[in-house]
Structure 1
Amino acid sequence: MLKETIQENIVILTLENGKTNAVNRETLEQLKAAVEKVNTDDTLKGIILTGAGRFFSSGFDLPMFLALEDHAAVCEFFDFEEQVLLDFFQCAKPVVCAMNGHAAAMGMILAMASDYRLVTDHPKVKLGMSEIKIGLPLSVTQTEVMRFGLNSDRAYRDVMYFGDMLDPNGALEKGWVDEVLPAEALMDRAKAIVTGWYDNPGHAFIPMKILQKKHAVAKIKAALADTTWQEGLHCFFDPTVRATLEFVQAAMG
């Protein structure tokens, strides 16, 4: 689930789902509602996305994936996920990700969809995208969000094709995150960024962000209109992919 609180006119969204804060359909539904709320309520300045416990988010809920019975069910889920991720990516107000712990897969994608990324300085925290090692390609919106967040086709190549997991300082060096901070400083810094960006004359941040992301959003919408991208979702029923997903699920408890 996604716990919502409001502090200093900022919506704080906390991923809370088991020990790894996996993302499921309920999480996406709550995220969609939160973005709509922030976009339409003039008293709200923006969003901070964080996690509970030792994880920011491990990504999608694997039991949910394994329970999808056929290609049509997978397509239905990703049709919804793609729209929610696009809505989050183009939220009109500032979105800061405060990664309190490990982030992988959809966890990293949500971070990249944010406007600014903070991460705890705990040396055991790992960040990355291991999809290639599992056998799952990214969808249309996920691909463009990652490409935009990494700001380079070469950086996208290195993140996605090598599938490495980095510690916070390594992620900072590669440009995956913007700041590495002590855990206790994350929320105050995130609030300062949201407020500092939003509280300018005329709320100039909003039109600036819309223009900044205009071409990426148009590219995503055009690609989603061509549903041939859904053919890649057949990979969910490849025996080796399912075996890998089951292994990862068992390892994570």
Structure 2
Amino acid sequence: MQQTVPPPLRPYIIHPYLRRTHTMIKKRIEDDILIVTLENGRDNSITAEFYHELKDIIQEANSKPSPKGIIFTGEGRFFSSGFNLSMFLSFKTPREIADFFSKTEEPVLLDLFMCSKPVIAALNGHTVAGGLILAMACDYRLATPNPKAKYGMSEIKIGLPLAIAQGEIVRFGVADDRNYRDLVYFGKMMDVNEARENRMVDEVVEESELIPRAKQLVSLWIDNPGRAFTPIKRLLRGPLADRIQKGIDELDWEDSLKCFFYDDVRKTLEFVQASLNK
């Protein structure tokens, strides 16, 4: 069988008001595997610039033989707390926030979900909201037995919806629709045992084994004749990816995201961001 060549990535728009000079990641190569460490303050919150960097990582992985896989992890006590809420507060019009989601965040997240190489989330600590969404886009999620680490989706508690790719990718990864319902309706934070029961976490390993086990999985999956992992992944995830893309193309984004400008939502975002900055 000939090796499957992944289709070219869709173009992205990284708007001028989304560009940042600060990088929130560190990259290193070990055993031909790219290890990406989120490093942005104490909670590794996700900025708009992260998607610009993530786009480049995916494009390189899809277009070249090396690296043979990607591992995402975090620095400190957090994998990621999710989006930096100050970014949402910086948007001045519904059009700006619609462009961010429809032309940047959603396409990049979808292409991470469909990356032709194995992608492992090595969850070193708290994995919440957008941080959990990032992890759910990966092929496999490892976590440590740390009893203090929390996992969950808190969007409903701050008045925010899920975008199309976000919601469908999380639904794809959890145990079933009932688990998905409870995850997004209750906004409950779970420990690692609950997270594993709900399939947000696939495997629990000691902290010292987090990266070694992630590397082992990448090699186990990709180091086969013809790199059969790539077409198998497309078969597994492709139908959902096609439906997500159709939804992205057809949604009225300004109308669906107008809640970001409701007074009570913005006050909540300001309060939560201020508490995180303390």
- Alignment TM-score, normalising by the size of structure 2: 0.89
Asked if the contact 1:140–1:229 (Cα under 8 Å) also holds between the matched residues in 2, the reply is no
The alpha carbon displacement at 1:3 in A equals 1.5
Q: Is the 8 A contact 2:95 2:254 kept in 1?
A: no
Q: Could you tell me which residue of structure 2 aligns to residue 141 of structure 1?
A: 165
Residue aligning to 1:241: 265
1:207 counterpart (231, 234, 242): 231
Q: Does 1:184 align with 2:190?
A: no
* Count of equivalent residues: 253
For the pair 1:216 / 2:243, whether they are aligned, the reply is no
Structure 1 residue 165 displacement after superposition: 0.4
Correspondence list, 1:1-253, <5 A: 1-79=24-102, 80-253=104-277
Percent of aligned positions with the same letter in both sequences? 51
SS in 1 for 2:259: helix
Distance 1:24 1:187 in 2: 24
Counterpart AA for 1:66: L
Whole-angstrom CA distance in 1 between matches of 2:266 and 2:144: 32
What TM-score, normalized to structure 1?
Answer: 0.97
Give me the whole-angstrom Cα distance separating, in 1, the residues matched to 2:118 and 2:274. 37
> Offset of 1:172 from its aligned partner?
1.0
AA at the equivalent of 1:33 = D
User: Per the alignment, in what secondary structure is the counterpart of residue 18 of structure 1?
Assistant: coil
User: Structure 2 CA distance, aligned partners of 1:9 and 1:119?
Assistant: 22
Runs of 4+ displaced beyond 2 Å:
none
Task: Read off the aligned partner of 1:59 and give its amino acid letter.
Answer: G
Higher helix share: 1
**CA–CA distance in 2 between the matches of 1:41 and 1:26?**
23
Gaps of 5+ in 2: 1-23
Distance 1:187 1:246 in 2: 36
Could you report, residue by residue, the CA deviation over 1:28-71 in whole angstroms, capped at 9, with x for unpaired residues? 11111001111111132111011111110000111111111110
Q: In the aligned structure 2, how far is the partner of 1:76 from the partner of 1:89?
A: 20
- Decide whether the 8 Å contact of 1:123 with 1:168 is kept in 2: yes
Distance 2:109 2:124 in 1: 21
Letter in 1 for 2:80: S
